[in-house]
Structure 1
Amino acid sequence: MVRKDFTLDLSKPLVFQVGHLGEAYEEWVHRPIVGKERPRLFESDIVEFFTLTVWWAVPVIWLPVVCWSVSWAVQMGVPSAQVAASVVGGIFIWTLLEYSLHRFLFHIKTTGYWGNTIHYLLHGCHHKHPMDGLRLVFPPAGAAIIAVLLWYVIKLTTPPTIAPALFGGGVLGYVVYDCTHYYVHHGKPDKGVPSYLKRFHMNHHFRIQDKGFGITSSFWDIVFGTLPPESGKKTR
């Protein structure tokens, strides 16, 4: 139940507080707190630990999966050109999945207690504290759920000779995505594509939260009409 007289206390664990904000949650979560102080999410130290992930865990855990998937295709005798094309195809599929998850799941609007709570855990905490370096990449358990679902979709919809390398490309796309996401928040590029990606993503955080859902590129934002304007008023 939403409490109309509720006041959120940032000095206490936040996860089970944010639900009480009700309709005010949407505005609250998009007013970022830019600082290095990390918010406490859970009272339990054990549960809190599993919300924290160092960025380098992503390539350490998932690049071996990429190598295994590609080597599986090679061992089946799939021609090298077909393996390479499948990997590229998997990366392309990931970019669409990246955009879709960010736009339709991570930015779903919620007002109820549990909706707000779940959204805050999925993505809201990142928008509220965008410089929290240990909550910028997917925790391994969350990434594993997406990977398993991706594998079964690919397995059921593509030939056996294509599936492993296509899956490996999708996982490689994910690794690039999460490492890029960390870099655009904590890196300091001054030119080229990295500088563009940082400006593009910071615009999403601090100016127009309902535009600019791509992380590794703005391609799908162009395709689906969610590219933010060059200038204009902040909207939601």
Structure 2
Amino acid sequence: MVVQNFVVDLNKPLVFQVGHLGEAYDEWVHEPIISKEGPRFFQSGVLELFTQTAWWVIPIIWVPVASWFISGSVKAGLPCSHVAPLVFLGIFLWTLAEYLSHRFLFHVKTKSYWGNTLHYLMHGCHHKHPMDSLRLVFPPAAAVILAVPIWNIVKLASTPSTAPAVFGGILLGYVMYDCTHYYLHHGQPKTEVPRSLKKYHLNHHYRLQSYGFGITSPLWDKVFGTVPPPLKADAKSR
């Protein structure tokens, strides 16, 4: 049920409050609170624990899993010269999935109670509290739930010997994505490429949320026409 003129109490667990915002949710969630201390999501300590993940957990868990899948193609008889391109294909497919999910799923407009609630859990919390370091990467339990259907799709679209390498590449692409995403918020890049990527992503958070959906690369933004238009000052300097 949507409550008219509802005001979120930031001192109380947020997840079951945000649904009451109704149509006002989209504006509220895109007004960021810049603080390294994240909000409390649930009253339950157990549920709260499952919403928090340190960035280094992602490579520790998923790199071995990806390696195990890739080795499956080798054990199936594929030479390394064939496995490597399949892994890169998986990484490439991940970049497209990253873009499409960020644009069409993470930024879907919601206004119902459960729509707002699920969106906040999925991605809205990151836009509201972009510096919350424990909610920048995807919790492993939730990632497993998404990984299973992706693996089944890859199996349907590939042969038994090639599917493990492609899926392993997808997992590696995911690890690159989550670690890059964390770095763009909390790292201090010294060279031009990561510095430009950080500026590109923060522009998505603080200026134009409807552009710049690529995290690891602006490739698909260029393909689909969602590269953010430059600031007037930038345009004049060119």
State TM-score, norm by structure 2: 0.95
For each residue in 1:33-67, what CA deviation from the matched residue of structure 2 results, as whole angstroms up to 9, or x when unmatched?
00122101111111111100010110011011111
Give CA-to-partner distance per residue, 1:178-231, whole Å, 9 cap, x none. Answer: 000000000011322211111111000000001000100000000011111111
Q: Any residues of structure 2 matched to 1:80-99 within 5 Å, and which?
A: 80-99=80-99
**What secondary structure, in the 3-state scheme, does the structure 2 residue paired with 1:150 have?**
helix
Query: Matched residues in 1 for 2:64 and 2:18: separation?
Result: 38
Q: Distance in 2 between matches of 1:84 and 1:192?
A: 29
Aligned to 2:128: 128
SS of the equivalent of 1:134 reads helix
Distance 2:76 2:223 in 1: 36
SS at match of 1:154: helix
* 2:58 is the alignment partner of 1:29: no
One-letter identity of the residue aligned with 1:207: R
Which residue of 1 is the match for residue 45 of structure 2? 45
Verify: 1:225 aligned to 2:230, yes or no. Answer: no
CA distance in structure 1 between the partners assigned to 2:209 and 2:2 by the alignment: 25
Secondary structure of the corresponding residue to residue 21 of structure 2: helix
Shift of residue 177 of structure 1?
Answer: 0.3
Residue in 1 that maps onto 2:71: 71
Match of 1:107 in 2: 107
For residues 145-156 of structure 1, the aligned pairs below 5 Å read 145-156=145-156
2:39 aligned counterpart, secondary structure: coil
Q: Which residue of 1 aligns with 2:161?
A: 161
Q: How many Å separate the matches in 2 of 1:118 and 1:112?
A: 10
What's the CA shift for 1:71? 1.1
- 1:132 is displaced (CA, Å) by 0.2
Q: Deviations over 1:117-175 (max 9, x none)?
A: 10000000000000000000000011112211111101001112211100100000000
Structure 2 unaligned runs (5+)?
Answer: 233-238
Given residue 50 of structure 1, which amino acid in structure 2 is its aligned partner? Answer: F
Q: Secondary structure at the match of 2:117?
A: helix
Instruction: Identify the residue that residue 215 of structure 1 maps to in structure 2.
Output: 215
SS in 1 for 2:96: helix
Give the aligned partner of residue 57 of structure 2. 57
What secondary structure, in the 3-state scheme, does the structure 1 residue paired with 2:201 have?
Answer: helix
Give aligned pairs, total: 233
Identity %: 62
Runs of 4+ aligned residues of structure 1 deviating over 3 Å after TM superposition are: none
Distance of 1:37 and 1:166 partners within structure 2: 38
- 1:68 and 1:191 map into 2 onto residues whose CA distance is 34
The residue aligned with 1:179 is 179
